[in-house]
Structure 1
């Protein structure tokens, strides 16, 4: 290891340890406010301000904009702890670091300065998956549409909206490979209205409402506040910023899954140490002990795969390299695998807990949150198929990962 790389790692370790101490100090308050947040259908103001004040919304933001610019693998350890305390709080943290993190490295200087004029912990919410339409005009785009899943949108200052690019007649424009052209736009919170439709099984406190533009009219968004989904290149943030939306979103959902999965097993162990029923003490039952050990093995194995994959990426970036197609396949597969595992072990925990998980409470909430998070489009079987294609070597020399698969 070169001396420069060693010094960089030492400095980052010190920064991480400081942030880790901050996170652990606020977890009790986040837990204490969780029921209020659930009732509000969004994070409580107390929780939001705690996360903001302690830099949890800007862990991945570049230092040029005032962010911590932590390696993804370090930020993951912090985000999973927030998700352990409250699933919805963890979700909002990873969404802002993914969505805001990507725009913070891709927007040109004048656009980044505008969005982050109040500092790096500016909340950005919305949906970059194209559900709207944009047509090019002088100096920017005119957009319209209806978007879903605006996690954290109540506290957002800026909105992140993906759009299919069209010509003046509304015909969708295509890339050379036939895929639609997509532009991701960013506009102030006061340009939208919420639909008030977040009536869901779990992740209720994320407030992931649908939204549309005010009066249904077209909105002008300047070029400086947009990036091209397919060709945007990192403007700042070092080598790790080259992961783009593909890697940042995988990081976010993986971090969240680690936290909520761990919490479900921890709650079951706590219950088992106290519960006595007609069959005896719960944690003394042979079948239960066997199945709990298997659940731990599944979770810990999935977690090890995750940190092996992300740790390898951190080393690659520290030495000035960029992620390979195979490395992205690893983090994509690890993402899906941990969701499969937490779905399985949380179902085991729910069944083993019997009535304790049936009623309102921590176990029921985490069970609902887990089985809501598994529904995200990034868990699609088709993405795992693309990982298989990579591992089989069935891709071209210039292949590149996009959000939903490999191009080439």
Structure 2
């Protein structure tokens, strides 16, 4: 049982029956994802058919760009079944970055259709050599989630500074990139977040962009703050995992104890812990979607998101990631000795949820940045 935002069909929404197909396939193959340490391409194709990888493609190029809250709720549902699948599906949002490419480049990118999978290993930023018409790119980049199933890949480069001082992202085809198979981690094992290696590929200037840079597409989704959105799609993975873990703890209330002690549901301490966790999770979730909807209303009306709205998006995302992990940890402890078994989903929930707040976008420093914005002082560089 989950408590995600209901998904209703609309002209710009993925087919609900195909989302059900995604959930079925993910449930059947989630152990395979952990074993292989990536989501296989045939599963990525299921995600594509459900519309997840056209959810941030501009309408002018055949996409069905979804309002952020609608896309986030889809990722929440998938993550409640498997965190790694939700994490990789969440990058269906990442084409908002590529909206900063020249329109002619985007037309070429989407020439074969709007269902394009983009994965990026943007850090550490590597110095690129300027050559005629572009850049010669060399180096190694970390944490390229979903790279085994990507159609295009991005890496962070520096070749002088643009007006903002921010690095460029160079877009390459898979044949120009080597994936270094080194994703050996405690949680979210199925995300395939390997290193990317490039050895001298030349990337034309028109295939580079500044992440979060000014979009060349004038549609509402591309006025929504891009870096906060990138944090949100990851934070909501933790939410889905936490919902699954807490639902399991609730369902386990009627089980018999190994020691003959009262059932969990008959113990006040168990009931109190469940009630507190439910309140924590629902409160963080409500704040998260409230901030999303408020900002979306602003950009749909034609205005830019305010600094306060951007700060609240980042705050809500970091707070959701932190709270979700706390809820999963509480559910794991409620699971008792049974939770430590390899065949218990509870230990997988704990491992997966522990990774989410470790992401640079979701660490506790975001509270500092948000607090600065709320009090009218300058936040740390890159927060807004």
Normalising by structure 2, report the TM-score: 0.91
User: Does structure 1 retain, via aligned residues, the 8 Å contact 2:100–2:210?
Assistant: no
SS across alignment from 1:106: coil
SS across alignment from 1:276: coil
User: Does structure 2 retain, via aligned residues, the 8 Å contact 1:42–1:204?
Assistant: yes
SS across alignment from 2:54: coil
User: Does structure 1 retain, via aligned residues, the 8 Å contact 2:167–2:210?
Assistant: yes
SS across alignment from 1:15: coil
* Structure 1: gaps spanning 5 or more residues: 1-11, 167-172
Structure 2 match to 1:170: none
Structure 2 match to 1:67: 63
For 1:217-296, list aligned pairs within 5 A: 217-229=199-211, 232-236=213-217, 238-277=219-258, 278-296=260-278
Structure 2 match to 1:383: 366
User: Does structure 2 retain, via aligned residues, the 8 Å contact 1:60–1:72?
Assistant: no
Structure 2 match to 1:144: 138
Distance 1:28 1:13 in 2: 19
Structure 1 match to 2:296: 314
SS across alignment from 1:368: helix
Distance 1:106 1:13 in 2: 29
For 1:5-404, list aligned pairs within 5 A: 14-15=10-11, 19-98=15-94, 100-103=95-98, 105-166=99-160, 173=161, 180-213=165-198, 217-229=199-211, 232-236=213-217, 238-277=219-258, 278-360=260-342, 361-395=344-378, 404=382
Q: Tell me the number of residue pairs that the alignment of Structure 1 and Structure 2 aligns.
A: 375
Structure 2 match to 1:7: none
Residues 76 and 377 (structure 1), Cα distance of their counterparts in 2 relative to 1, 3 Å cut: same
The structural deviation recorded for 1:244 is 4.8
* CA deviation profile, 1:302-341 (whole Å, cap 9, x unmatched): 0000111001112112211221000011110001101111
The structural deviation recorded for 1:42 is 0.8
* CA deviation profile, 1:347-391 (whole Å, cap 9, x unmatched): 111111022221123221121111112211112333321111100
* CA deviation profile, 1:77-108 (whole Å, cap 9, x unmatched): 1111111111111000112422x3321x1111
SS across alignment from 1:32: helix
SS across alignment from 2:159: strand
How well do the aligned residues superpose, as a CA RMSD in angstroms?
2.2
Residues 165 and 381 (structure 1), Cα distance of their counterparts in 2 relative to 1, 3 Å cut: farther
Structure 1 match to 2:5: none
* Structure 2: gaps spanning 5 or more residues: 1-7
User: Does structure 1 retain, via aligned residues, the 8 Å contact 2:103–2:217?
Assistant: no
Normalising by structure 1, report the TM-score: 0.86
User: Does structure 2 retain, via aligned residues, the 8 Å contact 1:62–1:236?
Assistant: yes
Distance 1:317 1:126 in 2: 26
SS across alignment from 2:328: helix
User: Does structure 1 retain, via aligned residues, the 8 Å contact 2:65–2:221?
Assistant: no
Distance 1:326 1:130 in 2: 29
Residues 310 and 19 (structure 1), Cα distance of their counterparts in 2 relative to 1, 3 Å cut: farther
User: Does structure 1 retain, via aligned residues, the 8 Å contact 2:14–2:52?
Assistant: no
User: Does structure 2 retain, via aligned residues, the 8 Å contact 1:135–1:165?
Assistant: yes
Distance 2:255 2:20 in 1: 26
